[in-house]
Amino acid sequence: MIWNEKMECMDPEERKELQLKRLKKTVQRAYHEVPFYHKRFDEIGLKPEDIKTLEDIQKIPFTTKDDLRAAYPFEMVAAEPEDIVEIHASSGTTGTATVTCYTEKDIDIWAEITARAIGMAGGLRKDKIQNCYGYGLFTGGFGIDHGAKKFGATVIPMSSGNTKRQLEIMRDFKSDILTCTPSYAMYLGEALQEEGYGPEDINLKSGIFGAEMWTEELRHRIEEKLGIIALNIYGLTEIMGPGVANECKEQTGMHIQEDHFYPEIINPKTLEVLGDNEKGELVLTCLTKTGMPILRFRTKDVTSLVHGKCACGRTTVKMTRITGRTDDMFKIRGVMVFPSQIERGLLKVSNSSPNYQIHITRPGTLDEVEIKVEITPELFSDEMKDLDKLEAKIAKSIGKEIGLRVNVTLVEPGSLPRSEGKAIRVIDERNFE
């Protein structure tokens, strides 16, 4: 079902006019209400009136995650405090969080775009949506919740975790649509099987999965295990949350909700804007957001854009599955982690060595992190039990920093590879290509 035929199937030329009108308005708002943008524009002699065509967007400087961090928590807000009705923050732990503020109008738009995702997943008003994205500062839980209510479906606000209960509710309530990260969907499928049940014992017809990288192979496995059609959903806190782009049943990429977001693909090195089908970094501009309108945000996510009418009838541009990042951020079980946080945790433990390597694997369905740390030559001769203690101490300190459990293995001094340039700190053995 197409939730908003007018917007999703609009003639592309007509949509461009709408985008330009909205872009001009948002640029005015950002310039006049956000000192950061005022200064940025003035520095290069750019005036909001200089944006006369959609291509003129290229005159606007990029906004980065560092800019947003520097503005922590509320400096990017473009609305009066009394008009802000909800706040969310990125899934990273302290120090890396970026905050986003929504007006009532923003929440309505957010609900609109996730309602579109539910439409794409074959949603009906009588459907029950088991929402296992985390509720809280993370945008996943509330984003889907707002959309499910706007759609008129029934939301089961499970939030994440407690797998046994999730399965019980799924069977007893006869949930129709599942929303969670793809790795958790797979985990639920396996747990279902372990309990002696199969797809025939549940009522699910589709799933809306995102918030982390995943592959076609994982899609097939989830579909088989749960007996559903599995669809991709993309979004990020800085721009809105889930729903920025949603996949339809054609499963050929995610439709960007272009009436609300303007996408560009750039070469991350030269910053040049790339054409259709060319892989590069996704840059997004909010066209309608009023609480915190972000212009030309460098997402660091690697994808490409595909224009043209989809077999589903929608005319919005599609972005292909994300295959990587242009920075060193990685997500572990849905939580954003930067190597610098791991390093901080490691080095808080006195007599730990700064030579380390982070190994990420997905042995079954859930991510595992192992941090190999060289021991200093002085410690090398120590008793085994002292080394075990040190491992546990480092694991605890890092765990505190990133909010996740990690395994630490001490390795011999000098055994980790040295690099003359940028050290290779992260070995991600999960395959997302």
Binding site for ligand DLL (CB under 6 A): 90-91, 133, 139-140, 210-213, 232-237, 241-242, 299, 301, 322, 331, 336
**Shortest spacing between CB 147 and ligand DLL, in angstroms:** 11
Residue number of the CB atom closest to ligand DLL = 210
Task: Rank residues 140 and 345 by Cβ distance to ligand DLL and give the closer one.
Answer: 140
**Shortest spacing between CB 75 and ligand DLL, in angstroms:** 19
**Shortest spacing between CB 396 and ligand DLL, in angstroms:** 25
**Shortest spacing between CB 288 and ligand DLL, in angstroms:** 18
> For residue 73, is the peptide bond before it cis, meaning its omega torsion is within 30 degrees of 0?
yes
From residue 99, how far is each of 88, 116, 135 by CA, in Å? 6, 25, 16
What is the per-residue DSSP string for 361-429? E-SSSS-EEEEEEEPPHHHHTS-HHHHHHHHHHHHHHHHHHHSS--EEEEE-TT-SPP-SSS---EEE-
**Shortest spacing between CB 160 and ligand DLL, in angstroms:** 11
Structural element, H or E, at residue 178? strand 177-180
Neighbours of 13 (CB within 10 A): 7
Task: Rank residues 232 and 353 by Cβ distance to ligand DLL and give the closer one.
Answer: 232
**Shortest spacing between CB 208 and ligand DLL, in angstroms:** 8
Structural element, H or E, at residue 23? helix 12-33
Question: Sign of the C-alpha dihedral, residues 66, 98, 8, 246?
Answer: positive
Task: Rank residues 29 and 219 by Cβ distance to ligand DLL and give the closer one.
Answer: 219
Measured between alpha carbons, how far is 140 from 153 in angstroms, rounded to an integer?
A: 17
List, in sequence order, every residue forming a beta bridge with 246; answer none if it has no partner.
233, 255
Task: Rank residues 48 and 141 by Cβ distance to ligand DLL and give the closer one.
Answer: 141
Task: Rank residues 240 and 390 by Cβ distance to ligand DLL and give the closer one.
Answer: 240
- 254, 145 in Cβ contact below 8 A? no
Measured between alpha carbons, how far is 240 from 288 in angstroms, rounded to an integer?
A: 11
Task: Rank residues 274 and 329 by Cβ distance to ligand DLL and give the closer one.
Answer: 329
What are the structure tokens assigned to 238, written together?
A: 């800085």
Task: Rank residues 92 and 189 by Cβ distance to ligand DLL and give the closer one.
Answer: 92
What are the structure tokens assigned to 285, written together?
A: 């501009």
The H-assigned helical ranges of 121-266 are: 139-151, 163-172, 182-194, 216-226
**Shortest spacing between CB 388 and ligand DLL, in angstroms:** 35
**Shortest spacing between CB 350 and ligand DLL, in angstroms:** 33
**Shortest spacing between CB 419 and ligand DLL, in angstroms:** 25
- 8, 315 in Cβ contact below 8 A? yes
Task: Rank residues 282 and 346 by Cβ distance to ligand DLL and give the closer one.
Answer: 282
Task: Rank residues 235 and 345 by Cβ distance to ligand DLL and give the closer one.
Answer: 235
From residue 38, how far is each of 30, 61, 347, 408 by CA, in Å? 7, 12, 40, 47
Measured between alpha carbons, how far is 316 from 426 in angstroms, rounded to an integer?
A: 36
